[in-house]
A and B are shown apart, each in its own frame.
Chain A
Amino acid sequence: MNTPSRRRVVSLTATLTAALVTTACGGGGASDRARTIARVVGPFEIHSLEPTASNGLFTRLEVADTVVSSDVEGTLAPGLATTWQPSADKLTWTFDLVDGARFHDGTPVDAPAVAASLTKTAADAASPLAGAPIAKIAAVGETLNISLSTPDPTLPALLTHYSAGILAPSSYDGAGRVTKVVGSGPFEVTELELPSSITTRRFTGYRGDQPTIEGVEFSVVGRAETRAVMAASGQADVVFGLEPAGRQRVDAADGVSMASALQPRTVLLKVNGAHPALKDVRVRRALSLMLDRDRIAEAVLREKDLAATQIFPPALATWNQPDLEPLTHDVDRARDLLTEAGYRPSADGKTLERDGKPLRLTLTTYPDRPELPPLATAIQEAARAIGITIDVAVGNSSEIPAKHADGTLELALLTKHFALVSDPFVSIAETFAAGGAEWGVMNWQDPALTTSLATVAQQPTGPAADAARHEVASVIQEQLPVVPVAWYRLNAAVSDRLGGFVIDPIEHSWRLSETTWVP
């Protein structure tokens, strides 16, 4: 009597297993796509087709071109414009557009189309172009003219930003909303699924050399653990956003290696310069001296070399000052400075206080960059060791500009990208602006620094500019209006099948059109 039932159980289990294995094998990993489409995986979601809200994906995937481009060193390079120059009064910039460029729908990339696309971007408050003193963007014959209300030497650099990616007129609906992404880059979009994937193929009408790879499939994978498995097992050709544990997994795997470049990005503590404790430079210096940056960088970022010795990372070659005395770790000196500032141990000896008020600060940070909360915890522990109580509040990144605006921010841990547009001056001038910056200084200014920034703005090259940049870095090192914590390395796991992959530290483009399949 046992037999029929047992057979049933066995056959059920067998059917289930067979079904699972069949479907599993049917899908395959990267192998069936090998040597045709490159599979790229990252955590960046595609929220919208609008260039400003696209997370830069359409320029990184080389679907949309910018008028001015930049190379891996961050130097300006021709994009849709071959040359550009300002007028004598520096109030009008003329851009000569490349000949023979076509959008993916076959229409020519002419001056009116470029002007129309840029005009839409400049009207979007979130684009860096919106902050430029642009009076008019117009097509004059075959050239693009941008008139300014005041001179702005950084305009070409602003045009490298992804929000200034140029789209064909057919991309927009009647209301000016982007309904499809029709660019002029070496790849055109074939499939797009918000928020998770974009597939492209080579654009046969591209004005330059045709890419070797036939196309790119970009998919969003939110969990770092999943991305690590995909990288290590060769299911993707390029994987961005790996955490230290994932990088170790990749290092141990065959057929894949890590590509990396120091980024012009610094993890820093934003300090409210009007806070009763933090307005005293001795307290800010104590905060800096209490940090054992080498150990923190090694423990959290798994790379000692990322410990910041000054605000500008080596990736910002013109701004980094090798001769500057590095920020150091000295707990005794930190304690002395706090004593000088009037802080004494409380009755229980655990915390410091002044006028009966404990030295207690709230540190706001966000989890978008996974290393920030652990870094905040490490800072909290370092502070506890010298008697400062830090409450860590991990929330949405937007809380930092919001708390800056209403003045309630005390400390914030954030990462600052100094080259969102290819000329770092734009971000640096904004970060240390005398009036404060939401992602920079707060209630702090220094006349010497402001003058030096103005010098660089007027004449960006030459000995005077070099001296001014040195002055900027020195003032920040002494005054610590923001406390540098660590530098940043952008990395990606790259399959050995894909040759010629180069990491662009400012992420203007992933440069996949320059890659080839390795036999």
Chain B
Amino acid sequence: MTTPSVPRTVRILTARLAQACGVALMVSVVCFLVVQQLPGDAAYRIAAGRYGADLVDSAAAQGVRQELGLDRPVWQQLGDWCADLFTLDLGRSLVTTRTVVDELGPALLATLQLAAAALLGAVLIGAALGTEAARRPGGIVDRMCAAWVAASRALPPFLLGIGLMVVLSGRAGWMSSAGGDGLAALVLPALTLAICLSGLFARIIRDAVIEVHQSAYVQFARTKGLPERVVIIRHTIRNALVAVVPYVGVQAVVLIEGVVVVESLFSWDGLGHALVHAVFWRDVPVLQGASLVLALLIVAINTGVDLAVAALDPRPRHAGVTA
């Protein structure tokens, strides 16, 4: 009780670690069971993934079935996977026979890169629009901002992506539609996602800024003669962030789950892409691995948000202290 900030961080980390373990176990089991319920014969599907539709026949499927032990009882296959997971061994892809770590490592990096760029873009566009709209609620910028919010939420990412691709890549020839090297390939998918997310960011930032602006402490800061710039930096931004940061966290989660469409449109080899393929080809180890990574990523983001909010907002929340 004497030093509330240290136990609070530790408490957050311990709780989240326990949560991560629980989530990992649950996601793995649920994934495994769901895949077992999918229609069709897994051996045929895996063979189709490996050899292509023109070469799949029952001999190839039988070869796959024997090689992977798919005729063993379900509980035995699940037990093996859980035992391997305990030793941090995620297994090998059934289709490519590479290890799941080799398969998903680059995909995770690619998705994080895309999500970070998209989030940064969305925050920048959202902050620019939101703070400007908050200056005169009901003014012309505010109304344009509201229109932007509606438009960006209503446009499906697929359509927006194709539109941007046709205009920026096809017509203007500024950038490659898909593939290409590093940053150049990142621009279009990141911009697509950033535009989709920016509307709600603008709205949240606008509301948070208006609320903070009208608060007693900002009024007081102005009364005591602080310049507007200092009021914004010292008082408005930090207090508005307390509301905005958790929202960024929520959006990051939505983003990570929602990159599938954009990744496939722009041939960005991320987790979403890997996940879709794994489902299609019944690549159970990759599917379990990808779901596990996604689930742990969400726990990590939530942990980051908790820690950030704890740092931004030092007011203790522990019942014992506030009482």
Binding site for B on A (CB under 8 A): 1-2, 4-6, 8-9, 12-13, 15-16, 20-21, 23-29, 41, 45, 47-48, 52-53, 55-56, 124-128, 130-131, 163, 177, 193-197, 219-223, 225-226, 229-230, 232-235, 366, 368, 395-399, 401-402, 405, 417, 420, 438-439
Contact = CB atoms under 8 A, between A and B. Distances in A.
A235 B229 CA distance: 47
Contacts of A163: 55
B73 interface: no
A12 B124 contact: yes
Contact of B264 (A13, A53, A222): A222
A417 B51 CA distance: 15
20 contacts: A20-B191, A24-B168, A27-B184, A29-B173, A47-B49, A125-B60, A126-B60, A128-B55, A196-B267, A221-B267, A235-B176, A395-B39, A396-B40, A397-B48, A397-B56, A398-B44, A401-B44, A401-B56, A420-B55, A438-B58
Contacts of B128: 9, 12-13, 16
B145 to A, nearest CB: 12
A223 B159 CA distance: 13
A25 B40 CA distance: 47
Contact of B125 (A16, A26, A366): A16
Given A1-B228, A5-B135, A16 B124 contact: yes
Contacts of A27: 175-176, 180-185, 187
B322 interface: no
A420 B54 contact: yes
B315 interface: no
B257 interface: no
Contact of A41 (B125, B179, B229): B179
Given A25-B175, A226-B266, A126 B132 contact: no
Given A28-B175, A125-B59, A439-B54, 11 more contacts: A12-B127, A23-B183, A23-B186, A23-B187, A26-B183, A125-B62, A197-B179, A220-B267, A233-B169, A396-B44, A402-B40
Given A4-B228, A55-B52, A221 B184 contact: no
Contacts of B124: 12-13, 15-16
A398 B185 contact: no
Interface string B124-163: 1101100110010000000000000000000000000010
Of all A-B residue pairs in the complex, the 9 with the closest CB atoms, nearest first, are A27-B184, A398-B44, A125-B63, A397-B53, A24-B175, A126-B60, A398-B48, A219-B179, A126-B51
A24 B59 CA distance: 49
A194 B96 contact: yes
B57 interface: yes
Contact of A52 (B55, B59, B277): B55
B184 A23 contact: yes
Contacts of B132: 5-6, 9
B185 to A, nearest CB: 7
B232 interface: yes
Contacts of B266: 226
B289 interface: no
A417 B135 CA distance: 66
A226 B184 contact: no
Contacts of B175: 24-25, 27-29
Interface of B: 39-41, 44-45, 47-63, 95-98, 121, 124-125, 127-128, 131-132, 135, 162, 165-166, 168-171, 173-187, 191, 228-229, 232, 264-267, 269, 273, 277, 280
B177 A235 contact: yes
A417 to B, nearest CB: 6
Contacts of B50: 47-48, 52-53, 126
A223 B267 contact: yes
A126 B55 CA distance: 6
Contacts of A401: 44, 56-58, 61
Given A24-B174, A47-B95, A399 B184 contact: no
Contact of A225 (B52, B53, B98, B265): B265
A47 B174 contact: no
A24 B187 contact: yes
B187 A20 contact: yes
B51 A52 contact: yes
A78 to B, nearest CB: 25
A451 B258 CA distance: 58
A219 B181 CA distance: 12
Nearest to B183: A23
A4 B265 contact: no
Nearest to B185: A27
A398 B41 contact: yes
A226 B165 CA distance: 8
Nearest to B49: A47
B177 A230 contact: yes
Contact of B61 (A194, A234, A398): A398
Contacts of A5: 131-132, 135, 228-229, 232
A188 B45 CA distance: 32
Contacts of B265: 223, 225-226
A225 B162 contact: yes
Given A29-B173, A55-B52, A398-B41, A195 B96 contact: yes
A9 B131 contact: yes
A6 B136 CA distance: 12
A465 to B, nearest CB: 26
A24 B184 contact: yes
A221 B179 contact: yes
Contacts of A56: 52
Contacts of A395: 39-40
A402 B61 contact: yes
A230 B54 contact: no
A147 B61 CA distance: 27
Contact of B165 (A55, A229, A405): A229
Contacts of A45: 277
A2 B266 CA distance: 41
Contacts of B52: 53, 55-56
A174 to B, nearest CB: 15
A45 B175 CA distance: 23
